[in-house]
Amino acid sequence: MKIDRLYAITVYLLNHGKTSASGLAGKFEVSVRTIQRDIDALCRAGIPIVAETGVSGGYYLSETYHMDRHTATQEDYAFILTALKGFSSAMGNPQIDATLEKVSSLTRNQDDSIILDFSVLREGDEILLKTLRTAIRDKHPVSFTYTNSENVTRIHTVEPIAVIYRWYAWYLLAYSTVKKDYRTYKLIRMSDAVISDMPFTAQHASPEEILRESDRKSPQPSTEVIVRCKSESKSKAIEYLNGKILRTYENGDCEMLLEVMEKEHFWFGTLLSLGSEVEILAPEHIRVRVLDAAKEIVSLYEGK
């Protein structure tokens, strides 16, 4: 409905600032002309939208505009509550639980049709998480001992930006004052974190902007792996490796496509755990990697 879109446009501009007509059109899946008519309608309704022309132009709300704090509906609160419950299960933080209690009191309809149980994502070191959150909030560098994927251990001092979960693990997004660049550090490889008394050396953009720019400059390369999977392990390959069936043989076996991030280890360990049920057909360097790992495992047990 148009009224819903008008409200959504107002909220979007309030949260994101200046946005072009084409950007709004793409967001709300309508034409630029429709967006222009919607902006005119909002202006007639008294919403103070400023229009700037030119290459870097767009629409934005006047700084004096504030929305009613009570515009959220009961359904909105139910969505927020569901997300908070998932967040609480992942973090185990008393402050989150307190927030959860506050939001619970605002809604009469606690929708339990969707439950987000992220308890498997708990990193286990609550002290480290608390230290990092404090350093991020107070904008102080943090030093820690770090062991990288090549098993090299060093002490790093960085300016922490955010703790993020991606690629099946928790990471610290931070600015390295040595490398003069933004880096991610796996929390499980960190220890002995200490907050410095010094302030940050620079003003940093939002975590979302930093990650977006980092992904643009250095996108995580994925590799297509073709496997032949026996029928009894087909469901496991689909469930744990997100495999896509390319062809099915008469005996029930199938040829499957996997898209993997070579630098991550979860998919590789899963492949090894399936043993002879899954054969790698291509690429050759993945076949060699699995063969070498299998030989090491065999030699370990044969040696005993």
pTM: 0.59
Q: SS3 breakdown of the chain: % helix, strand, coil, rounded to 5?
A: 45, 25, 30
CB 21 within 8 A of CB 36: yes
Place of tokens 């009469």: 108
Give the number of other CB atoms < 10 A from CB of residue 15: 9
Q: What is the CA radius of gyration of the chain?
A: 25
DSSP 107: -
pLDDT of residue 17: 86
* Rounded-to-integer distance, Cα 176 and Cα 69, Å: 39
How confident is the chain (304 residues) per 10-residue block, as mean pLDDT?
Answer: 78 86 90 90 87 86 69 73 76 73 69 70 73 92 91 93 83 91 91 94 89 77 89 88 91 92 82 90 92 89 73
